[in-house]
Structure 1
Amino acid sequence: MGIMAEAAETATRTVRLTVDASDANARADRVLARGADGLSRSRIKGLVEAGHLAVDGRTVADPAHRVKAGAELTLTVPPAAPAKPEAQAIALDVVHEDPHLIVVIKPAGMVVHPAPGAPDGTLVNALIAHCGDELTGIGGEQRPGIVHRLDKDTSGLMVAAKTETAHAALVEQFAARSIERSYTAVVWGVPAPTEGACTSAIGRHPVDRKRMAVRQRGGRAAETHYRVTRVLGARTASLVECRLKTGRTHQIRVHLAHAGHPLVADPTYGRRRIPDELAEPARHVVAGLGRQALHAATLGFTHPVTGERLRFTSPIPQDIQGVIDAFSGG
């Protein structure tokens, strides 16, 4: 197995391996673990799932991908994230804050916590800077204060804990499904019936490990209640309210796509091309959205210390509103 490692001044390095005949049909992560000095199996797994591996020039995101003899593996290894997230002065849209918790509107494009491929610039980095040392270590050093997540390109309301007591209580509420969460989505077509529930189990896609999928076996129970609130254009799209009973990864996106009504502009589960019947300027607006049309609009929970029932709402962000207006000819 030929190996060449390159170290750049940025501390990013590239590991290149040529698969020996003895490793034919072996898992990619196991081949890399044997040939990439200084990288643990778990670190390699995370890098592969984050899209840092190419096999013969093609990106592969499944650590269990079977490799052929003679295949060229190229693993890009970015600098390791700090053991503890660092404070970064990033503006936050705060809608509520008290000594125990903080509620913010996360913008589209922001990752919730540091991870491979997103070592900084996250909501956690911003929260540490905003809240100071009081947040450090709450609920764990890697994800201080975090009790739930939103996808990078989903905007909307999130609550974070500022004390261990608040963190434990909020986690318990999420586990008990007593948290109120509603999302605003723009989907292709008009779901029929216009109100109902999607209850298919969700798990990792059997081939593409970066995606989730409805699974007949091996998935986890998932329940999304939906309601069409407005039909857009000539039934080209709909504005849909979604309420979660569970919190699986990509749940709304997977459920609605499986039902035949994927979110507009969803790069992972959406349509590969804009329907021909959609006229300009709506085509231009949809193409320019750059993220799935999904916004966490409502968040309600019981305050972990005072016992007061809190409920927050967030208006539809300007970019999604622009899509709605374009469909409606506004």
Structure 2
Amino acid sequence: MKFPPKKIQLLPNIVTNILYECDEFLLAEKPEGIPVHETKDPNRMDFTRLLAAKLNLPELRTANRLDLGTSGIVLLGKNPEKNAEIDSLLKAAEKEYIFLCNGIPDWKENRFECFLKDGNKEVKIVRSGGKKAITEFRILSTHSKENLSFGMAKILTGRRHQIRVMLRELGFPVLGDPVYSKGNPSKKENRMYLHSFRLCFTDFQGEKQWVETEIPPEFLSRVGKQLSV
């Protein structure tokens, strides 16, 4: 059973959207700057616990992970007995992110394949010993005055920092990225401009579902004009 979208006030000044909900799981929109999972700091609240407390769902479990600075769609399981099925559903789903990046590429579409290996703070591209990562990039609009581009990334694998590492390697790092934009004016930005925008999946009844968010207002204000996908 699908329920209509609703907005929930988690803490003062923190509002999240419940984008989709059924008996087994829900899709919620995580704000940027909030960790998805519990951190080493016991006093720092995370998105999963905040939502679990607000919805009175103590067994709520996050199926996918977004970085601290990344906003957008998070899938959370409600029924522990369905964890394996939920993970399989997510693995088969189509996942698309939107981003603002520094610079203007000379290409409109780019399929990037590489091998990634986790480090302490950074993920590195390696020739051997890593895990294969594939992303399809598409530039939606360019903004020469700001020297920025607005684009979409469809991830075909789910590696840590995948989009961020690849865009840095291509020479167009995510705007506001505190790790992969070293020596770049991104350090002065108020957020990292990466957002989990759309999820397409087949539900437990075999029906195709498309769930997407609005474009975050910070994206619009940063380029000073309307954006569309």
Superposed pair shares fold, TM > 0.5 = yes
The amino acid that maps onto 2:179 is: T
Find out whether 1:256 has 2:167 as its counterpart: yes
Residue 299 (structure 1) aligned to one of 199, 204, 210: 199
Corresponding residue for residue 188 of structure 1: 102
Structure-1 separation of matches of 2:84 and 2:105? 38
Question: 8 Å contact 1:289–1:319 — kept in the other structure?
Answer: no
Query: For 2:16, what is the secondary structure of its paired residue?
Result: coil
Aligned to 2:7: none
Q: Counterparts of 1:300 and 1:118 in 2: how far apart (Å)?
A: 34
Aligned counterparts of 2:90 and 2:39: Cα–Cα separation in 1: 22
How many Å apart are 1:118 and its aligned residue?
6.2
Q: How far does residue 119 in structure 1 lie from its aligned partner after superposition?
A: 5.4
After superposition, the C-alpha distances for 1:196-247 in whole angstroms (9 at most, x for unaligned) are: 1111111124xxx111111122211100100011011258221111000011
1:149 partnered with 2:65: yes
**Residue of structure 2 equivalent to 1:169:** 85
Q: Which residue of the partner structure matches residue 24 of structure 2?
A: 100
List aligned pairs for 1:131-150, cutoff 5 A. Answer: 131-133=55-57, 135-136=58-59, 144-150=60-66
Structure 1 199/110 Cα, relative in aligned 2: closer, same or farther at 3 Å?
same
Q: Give the direction of change, closer, same or farther, for the CA distance of 1:100–1:128 in structure 2 (3 Å limit).
A: same
Tell me how far apart the structure 2 counterparts of residues 318 and 166 of structure 1 sit (CA, whole Å).
Answer: 35
Number of equivalenced pairs? 215
Other structure's SS at 2:55 match: helix
Instruction: Call closer, same or farther: CA 1:110–1:235 in 2, change over 3 Å.
Output: closer
Offset at residue 317 of structure 1 (A): 1.0
8 Å contact 2:39–2:46 — kept in the other structure?
no
Q: Could you say if the C-alpha distance between residues 165 and 311 of structure 1 is closer, same or farther in structure 2, counting changes exceeding 3 Å?
A: farther
| Structure 1, unaligned runs of 5 or more | 1-88, 137-143, 275-285
Corresponding residue number in structure 1 for 2:132: 221
Task: Name the SS for the 2:132 alignment partner.
Answer: coil
User: How far 1:273 moved relative to its partner?
Assistant: 3.4
Secondary structure at 2:131 match in 1: coil
Q: Alpha carbons of 1:232 and 1:118: their partners in 2 closer, same or farther (altered >3 Å)?
A: farther
Give, in whole Å, the separation in 2 of the partners of 1:174 and 1:97.
15
Q: Distance in 1 between matches of 2:224 and 2:213?
A: 18
In the alignment, which residue of structure 1 is the partner of 2:142?
231
Letter in 2 for 1:171: D
Q: Per-residue displacement from partner, 1:170-208 (whole Å, max 9, x unpaired)?
A: 211334xx2111111111122232201111111124xxx
Q: How far apart, CA to CA, are the structure 2 residues paired with 1:122 and 1:186?
A: 25
* C-alpha distance in 2 between matches for 1:233 and 1:193: 15
* Partner-residue secondary structure (3-state), 1:150: coil
Alpha-carbon distance, 1:288 to partner = 5.4
Partner of 2:215: 316
Partner residue, 1:245 = 156
2:180 paired residue among 246, 265, 269: 269
Question: 1 CA distance for matches of 2:145 and 2:219?
Answer: 18
* Partner amino acid, structure 2, of 1:156: G
In the TM superposition, what are the counterparts of 1:44-63 in structure 2 within 5 Å? none
- TM-score, with structure 1 as normaliser: 0.60
More strand, by proportion: 2
1: CA distance, partners of 2:46 / 2:21: 19
Q: What percent identity do the matched residue pairs reach? A: 24
Name the CA shift for 1:117/1:268 in 2 (closer, same or farther; >3 Å).
farther
What is the CA–CA distance in structure 1 between the aligned matches of 2:69 and 2:128, rounded to whole Å?
29
Asked if 2 retains the 8 angstrom alpha-carbon contact of 1:113 and 1:124, the reply is yes
How much has 1:113 moved relative to structure 2? 0.8
Deviation at 1:260, TM superposition (A): 0.7
Residues 1:200 and 2:114 aligned together? yes
Q: Is the 8 A contact 1:111 1:118 kept in 2?
A: no
TM-score (norm 2): 0.85
